[in-house]
Structure 1
Amino acid sequence: MTIRATVTGVGHHLPDRVVPNSEFESTLDTSDEWIRTRSGIERRHFAADDEYTSDLGTKAAQNALSMAGLVPDDIDAVIVATSTPDLTFPSAATMIQQKLGMTRGFAFDVQAVCAGFVFALANANGMILSGQARRVLVIGAETFSRILDMTDRATCVLFGDGAGALVLEASEGTGTAADRGILGTDLNSDGRHRDMLYVDGGMVSQQTGFIKMQGNALFRQAVEKLASTANTALEKAGLGHDDVDWIVPHQANIRIIQGTAKKLGVPMDKVVVTVADHGNTSAASIPLALSVGVARGQIKQGDLLVTEAIGGGLAWGSVVLRW
């Protein structure tokens, strides 16, 4: 018998406020066309002043639990991928645990920026395979609007807020690539590239800080590293490109998504794309795209998915799973 970590529920939540590209035209030297042609983004959601990462994550988690037919105390662990927690500590995960009314188990955050959800998913998989947990709630949630310099047109038009969540449960498999569940993972980081994407705040500066990004340099790193990590995870699973039903990438930029798909030899009609509606929601983007893909009727049980992401650090990775 082989234990697999299988998805049994998925959900997402977006703030009510929708910010179209045109909203930036009055304050920045930019336009809807300029933003769309360079990023593929048409709109994004921004959290309200009294709405925080834990609020978004809680609502996404509730939707995932509902699909799975579970209640909070059925869950053994909560792992939240975020770079924008409500407070420095305690973790957003423990806040979500409390808001869900969950009175057992454990909760913690993972911080790998835009790659955070992939890292959280790989950690949840390891806990299930080791017997540490049987059911894990894996959440990506962000309020990046709070760390945007609204005078910097290179960054402030790219990011948005939102949350997505998955319920992973232990199930029995055959030990073959035909099993449902997570079949392969690959995680990487290289701290030498820190200056390509970072926030100039924290303990060093004693202030919150804003996102700083070297867009062109990051683009060149992204396509190569995303394709490489996806190939590695597929190889670990004993699968190839022809086996893939859907790529569900980090939704950073349509050109990165297209470039990675081309390098993998996968047509764009096999790629779940949500970047136009959400912008870059960092660690929330993959679970958001998974939830939207299911709601659209694209992703169906038995489909083979490849998720891949890259973020500040640099940190990058991928997960291959059968839905």
Structure 2
Amino acid sequence: MVIGAESFSTILAPDDRTTSVIFGDGAGAVILRAGEPDELGALQHFDLGSDGSMADLITIRGGGAEQRSSGSPAKPEDGYFRMDGKSVFFAAVRRMAESSRAVLAKTGWGIEDVDRLVAHQANIRIIHAVAGQLGLPPERALMNIERVGNTSAASIPLALADGFACGSLRAGDRVLLTAFGGGATWGSASLVWPALSSELTLPIENATPLLTAH
């Protein structure tokens, strides 16, 4: 079971409208099992990357080793999440597009083979920009950020759950996942959506897609 959970409400600065109106609390999970590469639900290929030179783009200054070793007491505002929004936008679009292309090359898919793009739900502009960089029609991108906000590590499993529950993800769909986050880190994966029983269509807060790994 792979779980992503966030409680951003505990670290957002109330006066910072660049973050407080975007981020939300959420949790999502995906269950994987051993399987065969040619069966529905099979994960295909992965691409992962990181660049420590961008560590300052997304931070919480207080409470960590850097602050404690500085010899200076933490300021009240150091306990809040901070983000350089403009720089994050450009870095996220570039890295997710590059990573997506790397995964498509490994998988042997052209962009025309991708039925659904499920990107980290950072904001609508980033998702549309990534789709545009790849040459993918924006309507193929699954989005639920307008309803649940940016839930960070929970955003892709929640988007998968939404897509399954509303019928946007169907058995055999070729799906491209991609994400960018603090560190800075990024990654992408390709998979074929499994055949799931309609009995698994639960209220969205409880829906859990099922994938296979090999």
TM-score band by shorter chain is: 0.7 to 0.9
Match of 1:151 in 2: 15
Match of 2:208 in 1: none
Distance 1:298 1:219 in 2: 27
Total equivalences in the alignment: 184
Distance 1:256 1:234 in 2: 19
Deviations 1:173-203 (A, max 9, x none): 34xxx76411010000000011111111223
Query: Are 2:154 and 1:305 aligned?
Result: no
Contact 2:36/2:42 (8 A) holds in 1: no
Deviations 1:278-309 (A, max 9, x none): 11100000000000000010001111111111
| TM-score, normalisation: structure 1 | 0.55
Stretches of structure 2 that go unaligned for 5 or more consecutive residues are: 69-73, 194-214
Q: What letter matches 2:105 in structure 1?
A: E
Query: Are 2:140 and 1:279 aligned?
Result: no
Stretches of structure 1 that go unaligned for 5 or more consecutive residues are: 1-136
| Fraction of identical pairs, as percent | 46
Match of 2:44 in 1: 183
| TM-score, normalisation: structure 2 | 0.82
Distance 2:37 2:125 in 1: 37
Q: What letter matches 2:163 in structure 1?
A: G
Query: Are 2:90 and 1:210 aligned?
Result: no
User: Which has the higher relative contact order, 1 or 2, with Cα contacts under 8 A spaced 6 or more apart?
Assistant: 2
3-state secondary structure, aligned to 1:154: helix
Aligned-residue offset at 1:209: 1.4
Match of 1:165 in 2: 29
RMSD between superposed Cα atoms in Å: 1.5
Aligned-residue offset at 1:156: 1.1
**Pick aligned residue for 2:58 from 182, 197, 220:** 197
Q: What letter matches 2:17 in structure 1?
A: R
Matches within 5 A, 1:15-164: 137-164=1-28
Match of 1:36 in 2: none
**Pick aligned residue for 1:241 from 108, 111, 125:** 111
Match of 2:163 in 1: 293
Distance 1:203 1:262 in 2: 38
**Pick aligned residue for 1:316 from 177, 183, 186:** 186
Distance 1:236 1:289 in 2: 24
Change over 3 Å in CA distance of 1:297–1:203 after alignment to 2: same
Deviations 1:145-179 (A, max 9, x none): 111011111111110011111111111234xxx76
Aligned-residue offset at 1:312: 0.8
4+ residue runs of structure 1 moved beyond 2 angstroms?
A: 201-208
3-state secondary structure, aligned to 2:82: strand
